Amino acid sequence: MTDPRDPARRRLLLAASAAPLASLLGACAGTPGASDGPPAPAPVYKAGDRWVYRVTDGFRNPAVYDETREVVSVDARGIAIRVSRNGPNGDTTRVEQWTSPGDLSVGAIFNDETRRFTPPLPRWQFPLTPGARWGLWAPQINETDRREGRINYDARVGGWRSFTTPAGTFDAVGVRIFMILDDEEFWRTATQVNHLLWWSPAVGNTVREERQAEYRDKGDPFSTFNHRTQNATFELTSWRRG
């Protein structure tokens, strides 16, 4: 039997275990097909601002549903946005709290979970300037499963593209977001998240989102595999400003 301390085997094991991370990091390098452009300014929100998205989420038989984001209040405490999902698996509603258009204090960053960030998470750093990057370890509490931990958040602003959606045609700047969640267990790695979000200043929100995530079994890489946990696309279907 090969000695597990053998240097060649150790290098092979390390390379195999790092493969998912390397592939996601490589995808974060930029936004293919995008062009340079001006910085995207911060939006000015008003109560009644509303965006509706058609979401396709899954693999062989993906779920299709609508997600509505609506600004319900803007005051000295910040911005409250109600997020509602209406689909075949039931309806859900949560209210997110933002201390500014870019800083999230209570809300979801992965799926439909509710997380509380102290200090607020810089979800967006306006103006969104092509080539800009920010990252941090964000302390948070996942109120959905009562779990406390830190999330590694890394965002990179790419270039501009034009998108035609059911809501119209818009110029948008791409922001690639890579995250490592706080859900590591003794038998599996933490979830690695790769999201590409296309932000349109004309709309004051995203016009398209591409979301992927996975984790990997721990142990001998020759007998484990990756588990893809997210494969979703969000496309803007309608919007209005309050």
Query: Tens of pLDDT along 22-62?
Result: 444 444 455 655 778 999 999 999 999 999 999 999 998 89
Q: Which pTM value belongs to this model? A: 0.86
pLDDT tops 80 at residue 9: no
Which pLDDT does position 5 carry in this prediction? 43
pLDDT tops 60 at residue 217: yes
pLDDT interval class at 219 (50, 70, 90) = confident
C-alpha span between 109 and 66 (Å, rounded): 17
Question: With 0-12 CB in 10 A as exposed, 13-18 as middle and 19+ as buried, what is 166?
Answer: exposed
C-alpha span between 41 and 233 (Å, rounded): 24
